[in-house]
Amino acid sequence: MTVVKASNNANDVMEQITSAGRQIEHASFDVVDQEAGAHNYTADQWPLVRRMIHATADFEFNGLAQFHPEAIAAGITAMIAGKPVVADVEMICVGLSKPRLAHFSISTHQFISDDDVIEKAKEQGTTRAVQAMRKAAQQGLLEGGIVAVGNAPTALLEVIRIIKDEGIKPALIIGMPVGFVSAAESKEALSALTEVPWIITQGRKGGTTLVVSAIHALLSEAIHREDNA
Protein backbone atom coordinates (compact mmCIF):
# COMPACT_ATOMS: atom_id res chain seq x y z
CA MET A 1 0.00 0.00 0.00
CA THR A 2 1.17 3.52 -0.78
CA VAL A 3 -0.26 6.47 1.13
CA VAL A 4 0.68 10.04 0.27
CA LYS A 5 0.05 13.37 1.95
CA ALA A 6 -2.17 15.99 0.39
CA SER A 7 -0.95 19.11 -1.38
CA ASN A 8 -2.97 22.30 -1.70
CA ASN A 9 -1.19 23.81 -4.70
CA ALA A 10 -2.92 22.49 -7.81
CA ASN A 11 -0.47 24.14 -10.20
CA ASP A 12 2.42 22.23 -8.62
CA VAL A 13 0.83 18.84 -9.29
CA MET A 14 -0.88 19.43 -12.63
CA GLU A 15 2.10 20.35 -14.81
CA GLN A 16 5.59 19.13 -15.60
CA ILE A 17 8.13 20.48 -13.11
CA THR A 18 10.25 22.43 -15.64
CA SER A 19 9.13 24.95 -18.21
CA ALA A 20 10.83 22.92 -20.94
CA GLY A 21 8.89 19.85 -19.88
CA ARG A 22 5.64 21.77 -19.89
CA GLN A 23 6.31 23.13 -23.39
CA ILE A 24 7.01 19.66 -24.75
CA GLU A 25 3.91 18.15 -23.17
CA HIS A 26 1.65 20.95 -24.40
CA ALA A 27 3.14 20.74 -27.89
CA SER A 28 2.61 16.98 -27.89
CA PHE A 29 -1.04 17.38 -26.96
CA ASP A 30 -1.43 19.91 -29.77
CA VAL A 31 0.00 17.41 -32.25
CA VAL A 32 -2.41 14.73 -31.04
CA ASP A 33 -5.37 17.10 -31.42
CA GLN A 34 -4.27 18.03 -34.94
CA GLU A 35 -3.51 14.53 -36.19
CA ALA A 36 -6.16 12.46 -34.45
CA GLY A 37 -8.85 13.43 -36.90
CA ALA A 38 -12.56 13.17 -36.25
CA HIS A 39 -13.82 11.42 -33.15
CA ASN A 40 -17.09 10.74 -31.38
CA TYR A 41 -15.91 11.37 -27.82
CA THR A 42 -17.47 13.94 -25.53
CA ALA A 43 -15.56 16.95 -24.26
CA ASP A 44 -15.07 15.10 -20.96
CA GLN A 45 -13.85 11.89 -22.59
CA TRP A 46 -11.42 13.28 -25.16
CA PRO A 47 -8.72 14.50 -22.69
CA LEU A 48 -8.40 10.94 -21.45
CA VAL A 49 -8.16 9.47 -24.96
CA ARG A 50 -5.70 12.19 -25.98
CA ARG A 51 -3.44 11.39 -23.03
CA MET A 52 -3.55 7.69 -23.95
CA ILE A 53 -2.49 8.51 -27.50
CA HIS A 54 0.20 10.83 -26.18
CA ALA A 55 1.60 8.06 -23.97
CA THR A 56 1.72 5.45 -26.74
CA ALA A 57 1.94 7.40 -30.03
CA ASP A 58 -0.86 5.09 -31.17
CA PHE A 59 -3.78 6.86 -32.81
CA GLU A 60 -5.84 3.66 -32.90
CA PHE A 61 -6.99 4.45 -29.40
CA ASN A 62 -9.16 7.07 -31.09
CA GLY A 63 -11.91 4.52 -31.45
CA LEU A 64 -10.62 1.66 -29.32
CA ALA A 65 -11.26 3.55 -26.09
CA GLN A 66 -14.84 3.06 -24.92
CA PHE A 67 -16.69 4.62 -22.00
CA HIS A 68 -19.69 3.85 -19.84
CA PRO A 69 -21.80 7.04 -19.95
CA GLU A 70 -21.15 7.74 -16.25
CA ALA A 71 -17.47 6.77 -16.21
CA ILE A 72 -15.82 10.19 -16.21
CA ALA A 73 -18.13 11.71 -13.61
CA ALA A 74 -17.85 8.63 -11.39
CA GLY A 75 -14.06 8.61 -11.58
CA ILE A 76 -13.72 12.29 -10.81
CA THR A 77 -16.14 12.07 -7.87
CA ALA A 78 -14.24 9.11 -6.43
CA MET A 79 -10.91 10.89 -6.75
CA ILE A 80 -12.12 14.08 -5.12
CA ALA A 81 -13.41 11.91 -2.28
CA GLY A 82 -9.98 10.30 -1.91
CA LYS A 83 -11.12 6.77 -2.75
CA PRO A 84 -8.37 4.14 -3.13
CA VAL A 85 -6.95 2.82 -6.37
CA VAL A 86 -6.64 -0.97 -6.55
CA ALA A 87 -4.30 -2.15 -9.33
CA ASP A 88 -3.61 -5.59 -10.72
CA VAL A 89 0.15 -5.02 -10.86
CA GLU A 90 2.75 -2.90 -9.11
CA MET A 91 3.71 -1.11 -12.34
CA ILE A 92 0.49 0.90 -12.23
CA CYS A 93 1.11 2.07 -8.67
CA VAL A 94 4.72 2.98 -9.47
CA GLY A 95 3.71 4.87 -12.62
CA LEU A 96 1.16 7.11 -10.94
CA SER A 97 2.20 10.63 -9.96
CA LYS A 98 2.57 10.79 -6.19
CA PRO A 99 1.94 14.57 -6.05
CA ARG A 100 -1.30 14.20 -8.03
CA LEU A 101 -2.47 11.35 -5.80
CA ALA A 102 -1.40 13.34 -2.74
CA HIS A 103 -3.62 16.24 -3.70
CA PHE A 104 -6.62 14.07 -2.80
CA SER A 105 -4.87 11.79 -0.27
CA ILE A 106 -5.46 8.79 -2.54
CA SER A 107 -3.84 5.51 -1.55
CA THR A 108 -2.79 2.84 -4.05
CA HIS A 109 -2.88 -0.91 -3.49
CA GLN A 110 -1.67 -4.05 -5.26
CA PHE A 111 -1.30 -7.53 -3.84
CA ILE A 112 0.00 -9.56 -6.77
CA SER A 113 3.27 -10.57 -5.06
CA ASP A 114 2.00 -11.04 -1.51
CA ASP A 115 2.98 -14.40 -0.01
CA ASP A 116 -0.58 -15.29 0.98
CA VAL A 117 -1.84 -14.43 -2.51
CA ILE A 118 0.76 -16.68 -4.13
CA GLU A 119 0.01 -19.52 -1.73
CA LYS A 120 -3.74 -19.38 -2.27
CA ALA A 121 -3.28 -19.25 -6.03
CA LYS A 122 -1.22 -22.44 -5.86
CA GLU A 123 -3.65 -24.17 -3.51
CA GLN A 124 -6.78 -23.26 -5.46
CA GLY A 125 -5.37 -23.54 -8.97
CA THR A 126 -6.09 -19.90 -9.83
CA THR A 127 -3.91 -17.01 -10.90
CA ARG A 128 -2.27 -14.59 -8.48
CA ALA A 129 -4.35 -11.83 -10.07
CA VAL A 130 -7.57 -13.56 -9.05
CA GLN A 131 -6.44 -13.97 -5.46
CA ALA A 132 -5.14 -10.40 -5.34
CA MET A 133 -8.58 -9.04 -6.24
CA ARG A 134 -10.22 -11.32 -3.68
CA LYS A 135 -7.85 -9.95 -1.05
CA ALA A 136 -8.71 -6.39 -2.07
CA ALA A 137 -12.40 -7.19 -1.73
CA GLN A 138 -11.87 -8.74 1.69
CA GLN A 139 -10.07 -5.61 2.84
CA GLY A 140 -12.98 -3.43 1.70
CA LEU A 141 -10.95 -1.67 -0.98
CA LEU A 142 -13.12 -2.54 -3.99
CA GLU A 143 -16.35 -1.08 -2.61
CA GLY A 144 -16.41 2.52 -3.81
CA GLY A 145 -12.81 2.34 -5.03
CA ILE A 146 -11.20 2.63 -8.45
CA VAL A 147 -10.10 -0.66 -9.99
CA ALA A 148 -7.21 -0.38 -12.45
CA VAL A 149 -6.36 -3.41 -14.59
CA GLY A 150 -3.72 -3.15 -17.30
CA ASN A 151 -2.07 -6.53 -17.37
CA ALA A 152 -4.14 -9.47 -16.10
CA PRO A 153 -7.44 -10.40 -17.76
CA THR A 154 -8.15 -12.83 -14.92
CA ALA A 155 -8.10 -9.92 -12.47
CA LEU A 156 -10.76 -8.15 -14.51
CA LEU A 157 -12.88 -11.28 -14.82
CA GLU A 158 -12.65 -11.83 -11.07
CA VAL A 159 -13.75 -8.28 -10.32
CA ILE A 160 -16.76 -8.80 -12.58
CA ARG A 161 -17.58 -12.02 -10.71
CA ILE A 162 -17.25 -10.28 -7.34
CA ILE A 163 -19.63 -7.54 -8.47
CA LYS A 164 -22.23 -10.03 -9.68
CA ASP A 165 -21.93 -12.61 -6.90
CA GLU A 166 -21.09 -10.48 -3.88
CA GLY A 167 -22.80 -7.20 -4.72
CA ILE A 168 -19.63 -5.15 -4.27
CA LYS A 169 -19.60 -2.01 -6.41
CA PRO A 170 -16.42 -0.11 -7.26
CA ALA A 171 -16.84 3.54 -8.22
CA LEU A 172 -15.10 2.91 -11.55
CA ILE A 173 -13.29 0.09 -13.34
CA ILE A 174 -10.53 0.95 -15.79
CA GLY A 175 -10.19 -2.32 -17.66
CA MET A 176 -7.35 -2.34 -20.20
CA PRO A 177 -5.52 -5.67 -19.97
CA VAL A 178 -3.22 -6.39 -22.87
CA GLY A 179 -2.64 -9.77 -24.45
CA PHE A 180 -3.89 -12.69 -26.48
CA VAL A 181 -5.64 -14.92 -23.93
CA SER A 182 -8.90 -13.54 -22.54
CA ALA A 183 -7.82 -9.90 -22.85
CA ALA A 184 -10.41 -8.93 -25.46
CA GLU A 185 -13.01 -11.23 -23.90
CA SER A 186 -12.60 -9.80 -20.41
CA LYS A 187 -13.08 -6.26 -21.69
CA GLU A 188 -16.11 -7.29 -23.69
CA ALA A 189 -17.58 -8.82 -20.53
CA LEU A 190 -16.91 -5.61 -18.62
CA SER A 191 -18.58 -3.50 -21.31
CA ALA A 192 -21.76 -5.54 -20.81
CA LEU A 193 -21.79 -4.67 -17.11
CA THR A 194 -24.48 -2.21 -16.08
CA GLU A 195 -23.92 -2.10 -12.32
CA VAL A 196 -20.63 -0.17 -12.36
CA PRO A 197 -19.14 2.51 -14.67
CA TRP A 198 -16.15 1.40 -16.74
CA ILE A 199 -13.53 2.50 -19.26
CA ILE A 200 -12.02 -0.05 -21.65
CA THR A 201 -9.86 -0.44 -24.72
CA GLN A 202 -11.47 -2.81 -27.17
CA GLY A 203 -9.58 -5.83 -28.45
CA ARG A 204 -6.12 -7.05 -27.53
CA LYS A 205 -4.45 -3.68 -27.06
CA GLY A 206 -4.04 -2.31 -23.57
CA GLY A 207 -1.40 -2.16 -20.88
CA THR A 208 -0.32 -0.44 -17.70
CA THR A 209 0.82 2.67 -19.55
CA LEU A 210 -2.72 3.26 -20.77
CA VAL A 211 -4.21 2.76 -17.33
CA VAL A 212 -1.74 5.20 -15.79
CA SER A 213 -2.54 7.72 -18.53
CA ALA A 214 -6.27 7.35 -17.92
CA ILE A 215 -5.90 7.87 -14.19
CA HIS A 216 -3.67 10.92 -14.69
CA ALA A 217 -6.25 12.42 -17.03
CA LEU A 218 -8.98 11.88 -14.45
CA LEU A 219 -6.81 13.35 -11.70
CA SER A 220 -6.12 16.43 -13.80
CA GLU A 221 -9.80 16.94 -14.50
CA ALA A 222 -10.67 16.36 -10.84
CA ILE A 223 -8.20 19.05 -9.76
CA HIS A 224 -9.52 21.42 -12.43
CA ARG A 225 -13.12 20.94 -11.34
CA GLU A 226 -12.23 21.30 -7.69
CA ASP A 227 -10.49 24.61 -8.40
CA ASN A 228 -13.49 25.90 -10.35
CA ALA A 229 -16.18 24.69 -7.97
DSSP 16: -
Q: Which of 69, 63, 30, 28 is nearest to 49 (CA)?
A: 63
- The residues, any chain, with a CB within 8 Å of residue 106's CB and separated by 6 or more, are 4, 79, 82, 83, 84, 85
Q: Which of 133, 137, 110 is nearest to 121 (CA)?
A: 133
How many CB atoms lie under 10 A from the CB of residue 202?
17
The residues that are catalytic are: 54
Task: From first to last of the 229 residues of the chain, give the pLDDT tens digit.
Answer: 543 333 344 444 455 556 666 677 778 777 888 888 889 999 999 999 999 999 999 999 999 999 999 999 999 999 999 999 999 999 999 999 999 999 999 999 999 999 999 999 999 999 999 999 999 999 999 999 999 999 999 999 999 999 999 999 999 999 999 999 999 999 999 999 999 999 999 999 999 999 999 999 999 999 988 777 6
CATH topology of domain 18-227: Rossmann fold (3.40.50)
Q: Strand, coil or helix: what is 147?
A: strand
Distance CA 194, CA 80 (A): 23
Q: Which of 169, 188, 167 is nearest to 177 (CA)?
A: 188
Total residues found in the chain within this entry: 229
